[in-house]
Structure 1
């Protein structure tokens, strides 16, 4: 049975559909990502709109040790280079499929060590589900925020040992990963900046999700750029206003944080493999994201 937090997530992902109507047939979009990365997850269009080449990059799956647990992640970086700024790329609920891997390659082509960890892997394989409601109930709802923070800390440690300069650390995420971006910017003192794409800002406290972005927004370690859509039915604009109020009363990093709200953009407007994709907003958001990282020392 869905709690209010999960219902909000589902409403954002499938505007206009109830939880019971959320079943969508999984489409086999093959992604040539190496071992552990197969077909993309639902809901998708026929193919991703953007194809970022891996030429000149070291890219593919790596395994990150988290207290003895081997967590898979997709890594992309300029070939043969070290001392690279680091960007953590946090996925939607569908896991690290081709769209997320391509986003990591975009950062790598811009000179970053980009890492997208599989943050649901202990609970299940997000890409094996054909029904979104079932995916959320059986996998996503069982992922503790504390586990995510620990996994991201381990990812940062891996980056430091594998060519990354973690004194230049950024984090970005989409939907579910957007919410985690806010949380991690408050969790890790090394975070210089974050970019949160349409991540939920409010919610009910639970054992697994004890705090939400509005609860920690006054104490960020690095400023966060929030990229949101005014036509996002799952994230009301009044919650953005609540977050702005929290940020304005916070520390220096919180006060330096800001939002860009695209008037006609729905949820997941950056996801070029879905009907929600809005090219103009996605391209503008990407330019703002990379500029934000450079402005705040992640370059």
Structure 2
């Protein structure tokens, strides 16, 4: 299947399926109508979805890194996560919480944590579905479980993750967070609740409520996809609230790209140019704020 045959309407239908009210059956019905046949829809659907088989850009056994699964105290129980650090670090490092999409802690998020560690940070990718038993293999089930999480408890588990990182041997005590999709929204909400968060980077995440913005202490970098109408509707109000409250922030909108443009396991939505630029901006920002 040629990627050029995938239309914006197909991508929008997939976004509605994964984030709003469209169920799997109705999504496939709509995709079939857009593609012209069931066979074409069946070929297109995997290109819209994330492919876990292509998630490993940095090998899990990369010799430059020390990586392990960890368990630490959450707000009301155990949290599980994936901790990665550079092996050859000689000085204390800034630490970054890598917050997953609405699919939970999957191979792609683990790979992003390894990429972050190679940039010179200690990276922790928490499984925010830990209170519900952990991330399942079934992505549809993971999305359902994400929808049942209590927002306040989830933010408290983000704070527990921060405290775990801040006290690690080899860490310099400064902690930032980077999140994608659902994780981007959590970064924004977490920033309104954590006076110790130094930096927050939200990729195409829902915005914090304007009345909560005065509590933000962290510097923020906000990445948005130009074609992401669902999320972008909140940009102007968020910008206004951040400006009026004197917050330190940057907003970057990448024209002509879709929600999830950073996720290189999704062939239809990934945009390498935008992803590379956003990643470099993110790394430079975190190096500056967590030094």
TM-score with structure 1 length normalisation? 0.77
1:43 aligns with 2:49: yes
Q: CA deviation at 1:144?
A: 1.3
* Counterpart position of 1:229: 225
1:146 matches 2:138:
no
Counterpart for residue 233 of structure 2? 238
Aligned to 1:71: 79
> Does the aligned pair in 2 maintain the 1:194–1:223 contact within 8 Å?
yes
Q: SS of the residue aligned with 2:105?
A: coil
SS in 2 for 1:14: helix
Query: For 1:273, what is the secondary structure of its paired residue?
Result: coil
Cα deviation, 1:151-195, whole Å, max 9, x if unaligned, reads: 122222222333253532111100110011111222222211111
3-state SS of the aligned residue for 2:104?
Answer: coil
Structure-2 change in CA distance of 1:69 and 1:277 (3 Å): same
Which 5+ residue runs of structure 2 have no aligned equivalent?
1-10, 29-47
Task: Return the alpha-carbon distance in structure 2 between the equivalents of residues 246 and 22 of structure 1.
Answer: 37
Q: Distance in 1 between matches of 2:105 and 2:230?
A: 22
Distance 2:128 2:265 in 1: 21
Question: CA 1:130–1:99 in 2, change beyond 3 Å: closer, same or farther?
Answer: closer
Other-structure match for 1:259: 251
**What do residues 106-141 of structure 1 show as CA deviations (whole Å, max 9, x unaligned)?**
11111111001111122254433353xx5444x122
1:283 corresponds, among 276, 279, 283, to: 276
Structure 1 residues 51 and 273 mapped into 2: Cα distance closer, same or farther (>3 Å)? same
Aligned 8 A contact 1:12 1:233 in 2: no
Aligned to 2:180: 174
5 Å matches for 1:1-299?
14-15=14-15, 17=17, 19-22=21-24, 43-45=49-51, 47-48=53-54, 51-53=57-59, 54-66=62-74, 69-79=77-87, 81=89, 83-131=92-140, 135-137=142-144, 139-165=145-171, 167-201=173-207, 212-235=208-231, 237-251=232-246, 254=247, 256-274=248-266, 275-296=268-289, 298-299=290-291
**Structure 1: which 5+ residue stretches go unaligned?**
1-10, 26-41, 202-211
- Stretch deviating more after TM superposition (63-72 or 174-183): 63-72
Structure-2 change in CA distance of 1:240 and 1:98 (3 Å)? same
Q: Is the 8 Å Cα contact of residues 58 and 111 (structure 2) preserved in structure 1?
A: yes
Distance 1:127 1:12, change over 3 A: farther
Deviation at 1:143, TM superposition (A): 0.9
Tell me the TM-score normalised to structure 2 length. 0.79
- What is the CA distance between 1:84 and its match in structure 2? 1.6
Question: 1:36-59 CA distances to partner (integer Å, 9 max, x unpaired)?
Answer: xxxxxx932363366124222110
Q: Secondary structure at the match of 1:224?
A: strand
* Higher helix content, 1 or 2: 2
| Aligned alpha-carbon RMSD (Å) | 2.6
Name the structure 2 match of 1:28: none
Aligned length: 255
Whether the aligned pair in 2 keeps the contact of 1:119 and 1:148 (CA below 8 Å) is yes
Q: If you compute each CA radius of gyration, which structure gives the higher value, 1 or 2?
A: 2
* Residue in 2 that maps onto 1:4: none
Deviation of the 1:16 alpha carbon: 5.8
Cα distance in 2 between the residues matched to 1:152 and 1:266: 27
